[in-house]
Amino acid sequence: MIEVLLVRTSLSPPASRTTPRPLAAMLLAVAVAAVGLGPAASPAAAATLPAGAGSYTDSRPAGTSGPTTDTGAPVTPKLTTAARSKPVPTNDWWSSLAFQRYGGNPYSTPMYGHPLTYQAKASGLEVGYPTTPAIVGDGRQYEYAHKADLTVGLSGLNSPDTKADAWSDWTVTPYWADGSRTFRATIGHGMPFVYAKGSGGDARITTASTPTVFSDQGNVLGITVAGHHYALFAPTGSDWNVSGTAITAGLGGKDYFSLAVLPSPDALATYRKYAFSFVTGSQVAWQSTGGTVKATYSLTTEAKEGTERSTLQALYRHQWLHTTDALTPYTYVSPRGTMKVRESASFTTSQKNNGVVPALPASSGVDRARLTGYLNEVANAADPFSGATDTYWTGKALGRLAQLVPVADQIGQTATRDKLLGLMKGRLQEWFTAGGPSEFSYDKEWKTLTGYPASYGSDTELNDHHFHYSYYVYAAAIIAQYDQAWAADPAWGTMVKHLIRDTANPSRTDSAYPFLRGFDVYAGHSWASGHQGFAAGNNQESSSESINLSAGLVLWGAATGDNALRDLGSYLLTTESEAITQYWFDANQQVFPASFGHDTVGMVWGSGGAYSTWWTANPEEIHGINVLPVTGGSLHLAREKAAIKRNIAEMERENGGPAQEWRDLLWEFESLSDPAAAKAKWDGVNGNYTPEQGESRAHTYHWLSTLASVGAPDVAVSGDLPTSAVFSKDGTRTYTAHNHGSTARTVTFSDGKTLSVPARSTATSTGPGGTDPGPGEPGEPSTGNTFRLKSGGVLTTSTTDPAGADTIASADGVNRDGTPYRPNVYEIKKVNGKVAAGAATAFRLRVDAGTKVGLAPQVRVSYDLTGDGTFDRAETFRYFATDPVDGWEEYTQASGVKAVTGNLGELSNGTVRLEIWNALGNGTSQVQTGTDAAVLRIPYV
């Protein structure tokens, strides 16, 4: 079985798990046993280390194993001496440099940096730029597989291995040494450059085929290989020599050179400017304030020649959609859609905070007697943990109980609430105490904490720690909400923090655990494999279990007064939410190749994505695995309601009908876009079904009944407290927030609504919103600062209007660039607000010219500050050149500003107007309305 799976290089053997059904789980266990788990650990030298009231060990339990190769041999990190003092971040896009999972390969497997791909070999670093997708696996997977265009190294280099020498938030430096030569190459996400340093030989580039030289400027050489354009940069005074597929340059006593992949040959002059501004580090900084999450991504550089310290970096789609920083016209192809290039060493993104609530708000739609019966089913079960023994299934059971605690509390079932809390405490304390049947053990080599009994390679491959431990952190957060003493450091809080440090450590100086082990801050999501030992790169299947950890951090930080951890959770959740929206669900239909016949993927790979799971091809699980567990941290999924509807429709097509096995999960998912339809499906079976193993009838009934009553989440509005949320039905919003603090506070929402929340309580209110925050108080305009386009020429804060499309008139063959011609006009009046420092107008529109050639939708946004009919400020943006292919395309402010007149000032009963027209061509186009992809955001608070 394993030998057959190993042949499938793009899907490979199960290194990362999700939630297999019992039979699949048993088969997986047999498969793992077949390859062996290596020698049993000796418990003789084990020490028990105290952690508050709990403890863990520094040696594995007898009969268990830690990280191994594929043959079962123990393996230690593959690092240089200089790197050994720093915890290595396993579960990264480049982890195979450090984790030699496959013993016959001491270098690396393909690593997907985007736009470039890499693979280490004896002679140096293979570099590729895949631009054409392949559809494989019976049409179930798309991939931009690594294929070397060239190899960069030194003449004569023949290293026996490659080690990780240095790393930062999204860059890494591999190291080669063969006794005569040493070579390093710094690479990273979004980096079009490879920065090389070496000694003992000349710079050498070996191309996969004979290159075409398009520019020869001595130490700067432009070449084309396999249709891709590269620039090679040697120190000033050097000269590149081309002989067949070998290109060499003496370094003239220097030790550096670089290369870059170019968007086009005419970009060479721009890229040459930054050829010797070597990147030495990368770092993200985040903050969550006032309902907004901002993140700044910065590179540090060293000028090898001259004084230039800036650089070029390519932004992923989830980044450029949320930045107002200037971008160049340069773009790259990637498995995540178009990457856009910024000419700077940093950029900042800004998103509304995706709130997390302990439970949905109380509503009249819930029959309390019926809910009480369902709660008793769980609380009084003979085994509430369903026989779970390993880290994953124990976590699932803890999560199931944790969801019911605030629900029981909400309807006054305090005895049931306390019984559930007692069950959770007892099981967590068992795991948090060394020496029993379940415990955590610390691996000093790999700087990681592993729970035993382990599961799905969490021990031998360091997989999925963020999945497994998410449930423990979330459950502990719910306990902390009701029992702060239990969560204190002298009690059980220290052990909870060990799990957090293992999976989502915010510290870069902690010597015991790496910074954010599995979360790739630049890719915007986590990776599940601890070794990244696949031809397709690393992978993540259950993005929703990664979100579960972030939601747990928000709740744990809020409940324990650790605002830094709370805000870390907000940053991780908000960032990964957009990555899920774009890369798992392709909500804007701009990422998946046109030839890939699916609207969602179950797994994202470094090279692409797959409509599959690790254990089954059943469509219900493929669609459901990125939904579970459904919690108060799942509300972010409601942002793209049209994508949810497409997702459910595809599942039913592929499934040959509605869900049967995971129907509860998929009902809950559907309820985020259409609560009435989802509730009708529940009513159709009247509770007569088998819940998914992490779900319960009590939770599903409460979830569906509540949303049917208060409406779907309204993610266009956010609160200035991370533990808040808004729902909308028939024009009425329901606002809810939980205050974990010891004093009452007022929560202000982005539509101006305010909500007073008592200490350690949940508060709920309904209304249309629009409360004026008052003089000198923080808040947003009375109508909000984010508006949707609504057919009929309206800008609105409503999220309940139907999706549609308006026709944009033809330019009639005349160049209308910069001058509105028969524009579609969308307007909102009586807007109040103050200018937000550092903010800028932003918009996100979907346009389509069909098969027409040469159309160019263009936008102007105007501000009448006092509503007197005179527009004081007008901003005209560059037009968007549409393609002649049917399908929506994304038009944003990233196209750049063409002209500005007037100045911004305070809006007092002002008017905001957006005009869109066709600047070129001879045909009509369309613009979407009524969706989250038809949005204008103004720079006001």
Length reported for the chain: 941
The Cα 398–Cα 468 span in angstroms is: 11
Q: Find the catalytic residue in 92, 169, 459, 464.
A: 464
How far apart are the C-alpha atoms of 361 and 378, rounded to whole Å? 21
* All residues at 6 or more sequence positions from 702 whose CB lies less than 8 Å from its CB, including other chains: 359, 360, 366, 371, 407
Positive or negative: CA dihedral 117, 119, 120, 123: negative
The answer to whether 896 touches 878, Cβ cutoff 8 Å, is yes
For the record, the structure tokens of 685 come out as 């079976």
Which of 337, 396, 504 is closest to 17 using CA atoms?
396
Q: Is 343 a catalytic residue?
A: no
Q: Which of 541, 586, 650, 806 does the annotation list as catalytic?
A: 541
Give how far the C-alpha of residue 342 lies from the chain's centroid of Cα atoms, to the nearest Å. Answer: 20
Residue 746, amino acid:
T
Sheet holding 277-289, edge to edge: 277-289, 292-303, 346-352
Which three-class secondary structure state does DSSP give residue 797?
A: coil
Residue 287 CA to residue 350 CA, distance in Å, equals 10
H-helix or E-strand spanning residue 294: strand 292-303
Residues 6+ apart with CB under 8 A from 23: none
Nearest to 765 by CA among 805, 794, 724, 806: 724
Query: Each residue of 901-911: b (16+ CB within 10 Å) or e?
Result: eeebeebeebb
* Structural tokens at position 94: 């480049």
Alpha carbon separation from 568 to 269, 505, 516, 554, 609 (Å, rounded): 40, 9, 10, 8, 27
**Residue from 97, 39, 85 nearest 63 by CA:** 39
Is 302 designated active site? no
Closest by Cα among 421, 387, 374 to 695: 374
The answer to whether 739 and 757 are in contact (CB under 8 A) is yes
Neighbours of 180 (CB within 10 A): 12
CA pair distance 887, 445, nearest whole angstrom = 51
What is the token pair recorded at 775?
């003089």
CA-wise closest residue to 50 among 58, 41, 59? 58
Segment holding 269, helix H or strand E: helix 268-272
| Amino acid at residue number 613 | T
Q: What are phi and psi of 900, to 5 degrees?
A: -135, 135
Given the residues 143, 545, 875, 932, the one annotated as active site = 545
- Alpha-carbon span 51 to 433, nearest angstrom: 9
Nearest to 152 by CA among 281, 228, 300, 260: 260
Query: CA 278, CA 311: separation in Å to the nearest integer?
Result: 8
- 786-790 vs 256-262, strand pairing mode: unpaired
Q: Which two tokens stand for residue 21?
A: 């059904």
Q: Is 63 exposed, middle or buried (0-12, 13-18, 19+ CB in 10 A)?
A: exposed
- Clarify whether 464 is annotated catalytic: yes
- Specify whether the CB–CB gap between 342 and 313 falls below 8 A: yes
Catalytic residue list = 464, 541, 545
